Amino acid sequence: MVNFKIKIANIVLEVNAFYEFTKEYCKDFLSDEEANYVITLTKEDLINEASENKDGKVYVSEEISALYRKIADLFIERNILVMHGSAFKVGGYAFIVTARSGVGKSTHVNLLREYLGKDFEYINDDKPLLEVKDNELILYSSPWNGKERRGNNNYAPLKSVIFLNRGLTNTYKKLDNSGDIYFRLLSQIYLPRDKAKREKALSLIDILLKRISFYEINVNTDVSSAQMTSERIIKNEIK
């Protein structure tokens, strides 16, 4: 077994894994602090993650996925949700752009990085963590930061969630806190298989709906789309 400790969202986890690569994958989050929890991966965990593979074999990627699932389930108990999206920080605040896989959220956020320059900082390009606290929502990075590994081990208060669609022209609108937003969020937030934990996640989504603003954008792949998002949404939210 490979033993190491990581600190994510201010929580220290001692991890017992099979592969040294798993430790390397989490290198930006390694810690020597006293652990709050111990996570031990089993062969059954890896086999369960491999069940959808056509060849039925277990690979190191299954261990990465199994660790993600165990942490996501555990964090629900600490009022922390795993979101699917590309998260970044501007002016001390976090924003997250979310969409179905392949629509182009990472492309748009990378255009924002180019447009905003030094004012832009990645948090996580795939699976940021959202802590629901009494008075604020804090968005944290995680080791699961996309194929390009875009992310930094940092955090910021969350200002807005931006739902992205691909379009020929660039448009935006602010959304009201309707049921439509709720169902959009359901498809972009990790929901545990355990019933009690799933219900806890749904209650956290209810709080999220009341705390922040939501936008919908239709964008092309030109830098003008980044200019629109920056000027019409980001700057308006942090002014």
pLDDT greater than 70 at residue 54: no
CA nearest to 101, candidates 168, 40, 188, 186? 188
Query: What beta strand segments (E) does the chain contain?
Result: 2-8, 11-17, 37-40, 80-82, 86-90, 93-98, 120-124, 129-132, 137-140, 155-166, 171-175, 213-219
**Per-residue pLDDT tens digits for 107-162:** 999 999 999 999 999 999 999 999 999 889 999 999 998 777 788 899 999 999 99
* pLDDT score recorded for residue 151: 83
Q: Does residue 208 contact residue 137 with C-beta atoms inside 8 Å?
A: yes
List every span in the chain annotated with CATH 3.90.228.20: 80-238
* pLDDT score recorded for residue 166: 93
CA 123 to the chain's CA centroid: 9
Give the class (CATH, top level) of 80-238.
alpha beta
Q: What burial letters (b/e) apply to 28-53, b meaning 16+ CB within 10 Å? A: ebebeeeeeeebebeeebbeebbeee
* pLDDT score recorded for residue 139: 97
DSSP-assigned letter for residue 237: H
Q: Does residue 76 contact residue 69 with C-beta atoms inside 8 Å?
A: no
3-state SS, 177-188, equals CCHHHHHHHHCC
**Per-residue pLDDT tens digits for 18-48:** 999 999 999 999 999 999 999 999 999 998 8
Q: How far apart are CA 162 and CA 53, in angstroms?
A: 33
